[in-house]
Amino acid sequence: MLASSSAVASQTEPVSVTIDASVTGAPISKYIYGQFLEHGGSIVNHGLWAEMIDDRKFYGPILESEPPPPTDPRAAWRSRTRSWVRIGPADAVTLEKDNAYVGEHSPLLRVNESYPVGFQQGGLALLKGKQYEGHIVLAGDSRATVTVTIAWGDNDKAREVITLRNLTPDYTRYPIAFTSPVTTDDARIEIVGRGQGTVRVGVVSLMPADNIEGFRAEVIAALKEIDAGLYRFPGGNFVSAHEWRHAIGPRDKRPPIYDPVWKAVQPNDVGTDEFLALCRLLGADPYITVNAGFGDAWSAAQLVEYVNGDVSTPMGKLRAENGHPEPYGVKLWGIGNEPWGDWQFGAMHISQYVHKHNDFAKAMRKVDPSIVLVAGGALPKTMTTAKQAQRFGPSLIPEPLSEADWSGQLLLHSRDYFDQLSEHFYAYAETRFDLEKGEQVPTKEPLIEVLRKPANHVRLSVEQFKEYFNLIPELRGRNITLNIDEWALTGFPPNSYKVAPANAWTLHEMIRHSDVIEAAAYTFGTSLLSATRNQAQLNPAGLVFKLYSRYFGKIPVKVSGNSPQPAPKWPVGGEQPSVNAGSDTYPLDVVAAWTEDRRQLTVAIVNPSESDQRMELDIRGADLRRGTLRRIAHRDLDYVAVPGKPSEVKIQEQSLSRVPKSIVVPRYSISLYTFDVTS
């Protein structure tokens, strides 16, 4: 795939690309390679965190049998958790509020010598030869014995049994450790009491022994390859009903809660300190969103103090007591998530929300004046496609600066209280938003137009954002930028190669508008992984982020060509910009940039078309010599990486002895050329 392909497209003339390295733009922020994380489905608790036991703090009931999985895919995504199943008669296993270890109740076992009493949970994934460790917290009668069994079959040889004796009335932590002799996705843990008296079970935990500060080692290794500039957390919709104080302190004592947003139980094991540890492990900057739904300004300010405050402050002292004496120094803070959406907990009218936002900003900046604040915006395109403009009147498309123009109202009334304006978009494959019908409609388009969709969202976002500076004179000269902190192309299978050229094209459009776009966060960081419960590697979309974050330059330069992108087919607005996304190099898309030290020039080329393309390259304003070509390519756009198996898609690398004048760009490929400056 690195060599010139023989299957060259039948175009009459090659695309001419001119790069003028002497004409530069605003530096590209490392934050455009950011990622978004949220406590939805298995994203955090299973995708990142190493804990293997579901409902380990016993929030839910102990059932007679495991219920069938939900048939609705969205419901299954929300609550991919396993239940505890009773062992023994119903009256011998109960949930008691008295003397509960954590939360509202703890299991009480009334044990005897005649039969086992307890509960079990199946569906544990084990790897042969791997070590596992954890603990269980128990209180009970000294005449009782508890066995913790890891079983991978039904006979006596297919199990590891740990026997715990000499229980005391006070809750005590007992270690669990074993090495698995098998590989299986359906082992189970059994917690059983025998003897006389009662036993209370506080919590139980089990993780692979190679976990890194509680995170899955293989996931940390894969995500480190991306070099993401930032991670956004804890939401997303989740944050609008999240109480951050429930998720700090000793993990076993954090109360489990029911999350009304995603309708699932949260153990609160991954909170603020864990997220900041994750960012440290990944070498990324943290971006924390505060709860501006059910939350209040005082709680948000307390969170800023907990994270950034000196130990002399009340919250800084609490952080130190929780094992983190040094302030984290987090700079990037978001106020609320999608406050413009009527699905958000705590949603309110914009005339009220601007005051709420301002109160949050004042309180948070009083604690730390150096923080960078992001307002929860929605450009007219978003208010249209999410049908939220109609909350404020009959029109589908908001009138500029009207109450239906959410971002316009924030810029009118809150511009002194934020530094960046948030924007979200999700592009849907094989559909488009019909402005006449006011809804997404199925649409058959050429493949290249499907792959253009997320880049078009970026272009339209920039167009509409820039228009505010014409509509509101007070904005001129103000350094308010755009933060696209949720975005994705959906509608393709997970791990599909189709997403790769679309995501690269989207990054190109952000690079072209580096003067406007300060940050972005891809939904979700874990969706860049092809992962099982025991293994993880970057999928094609993840390799795109790795390619650009590691190897693309920082100072964009001028790119021109002889082949403009086609004119828009659909009416402007909704999802369609006035000018289609892309460089004047159709059907290719090209961006270029200097490295920070200007010792190398990088040229990135996306071919989203179904044919190989010929390209003539003319680089001016730089004296260049040898270089390196790095390329992601696959001839089959329908290729899907299979979790647990080696991927056919890799970043291929080839040395170049000179700057090529003529290039054959394979179909569906992403190519990054790095040329050295002649010394």
Kindly state whether residues 43 and 66 are assigned to the same domain.
no
Residue 339: its pLDDT value, please? 97
Distances (CA, A) of 355 to 240, 380, 478: 17, 21, 21
Read off the pLDDT of each residue in 517-521 and give the average, rounded to a whole number: 98
**114 Cβ contact partners less than 8 Å away, ≥ 6 residues apart:** none
* pLDDT for residue 68: 83
Of 677, 517, 509, the closest CA to residue 604 belongs to 509
Question: Mean of the pLDDT values across residues 254-276?
Answer: 96
Q: Are residues 552 and 609 in the same domain?
A: no
Question: Exposed, middle or buried by CB within 10 Å (0-12, 13-18, 19+), for 253?
Answer: middle
Taking only the tens place, the pLDDT of each residue in 122-178 is: 999 999 999 999 999 999 999 999 999 999 998 889 999 999 999 999 999 999 999
Q: Is residue 567 part of a domain?
A: yes
**Cross-strand bridge partners of residue 529:** 538
201 and 267: one domain?
no
Q: What is the CA radius of gyration of the chain?
A: 27
- 55 lies in some domain: no
Q: Which domain holds residue 512?
A: 30-48+212-559
Q: Tell me: do 34 and 72 sit in the same domain.
A: no
The pLDDT value given to residue 156: 86
What pLDDT digit, counting tens, does each position of 328-383 carry? Answer: 999 999 999 999 999 999 999 999 999 999 999 999 999 999 999 999 999 999 99
pLDDT single digits (tens) 187-205:
999 999 999 999 999 999 9
Task: For residues 611 and 174, give the distance between their C-alpha atoms in angstroms, rounded to a whole number.
Answer: 62
Question: 117 with 76, same domain?
Answer: yes
Q: What is the CATH number of the domain that holds 422?
A: 3.20.20.80
CA angle 515, 417, 426 (to 5 degrees): 55
Specify the pLDDT at position 6: 35
For the segment 104-110, the average pLDDT, to the nearest whole number, is: 97
The pLDDT of residue 71 is 76
Per-residue model confidence (pLDDT) at position 541: 97
Q: 177, 208, 239 — which closes off a domain?
A: 208
Does residue 298 form part of some domain? yes
CATH number at residue 596: 2.60.40.1180
Percent of the chain scored above 90 by pLDDT? 93
pLDDT beyond 50 at 8: no
* pLDDT value for 3: 43
Q: Is residue 467 in a domain?
A: yes
92, 109 in Cβ contact below 8 A?
Answer: yes
Long-range Cβ pairs for the range 319-324 (8 Å, 24+):
319/248, 319/273, 322/248, 322/249, 322/250, 322/273, 323/273, 324/273, 324/276
| The predicted structure's pLDDT at residue 10 | 43
Is residue 593 in some structural domain? yes
Of 265, 254, 335, the residue nearest 299 (C-alpha) = 335
Both 201 and 239 in one domain: the answer is no
Both structure tokens of 406:
């959410």
Q: How confident is the model at residue 70 (pLDDT cuts 50, 70, 90)?
A: confident
Average pLDDT, the chain: 95
Is the predicted pLDDT of residue 2 greater than 60, yes or no? no
**Is the domain of 222 the same as that of 358?**
yes
* Cβ–Cβ under 8 Å, residues 335 and 292: yes
- Regarding whether 144 and 231 lie in a shared domain, the answer is no
The average pLDDT across 108-114 equals 95
**What is the reported pLDDT for 9?**
41
Instruction: Flag whether 66 is in a domain.
Output: yes
pLDDT tens string 580-591: 999 999 999 999
Say yes or no: 259 and 372 in one domain. Answer: yes
Give the position of tokens 């939904």.
523
177-186 pLDDT tens trace = 999 999 999 9
Q: Is 70 exceeded by the pLDDT of residue 77? A: no
The answer on 75 and 110 residing in a single domain is yes
Determine which helix (DSSP H) or strand (DSSP E) holds 214, and give its type and residue range: none
Phi, psi of 546 (to 5 degrees): -60, -45
Parallel, antiparallel, or unpaired for β 662-665 and 84-87?
A: unpaired
- pTM of whole model > 0.85? yes
What percentage of the chain carries pLDDT values higher than 70? 97
CA-to-CA distance for 425 and 43, rounded, in angstroms?
Answer: 19
Let me know if residue 8 belongs to a domain: no
pLDDT at 72 over 80: no
Indicate the number of domains in the chain. 3
Residue that finishes a domain, picked among 531, 559, 587: 559
105 touches 61 (CB < 8 A)? no
Domain identity same for 467 and 490: yes
Domain boundary among 183, 208, 233: 208
pLDDT tens string 529-572: 999 999 999 999 999 999 999 999 999 999 999 999 999 999 99
Q: Is the pLDDT of residue 75 over 80?
A: no
The CATH number covering residue 97 comes to: 2.60.120.260
Residues 20 and 129 in one domain: no
Determine, yes or no, domain membership for 590. Answer: yes
Report the pLDDT value the prediction gives residue 13, as an integer from 0 to 100. 86
pLDDT of residue 67: 84
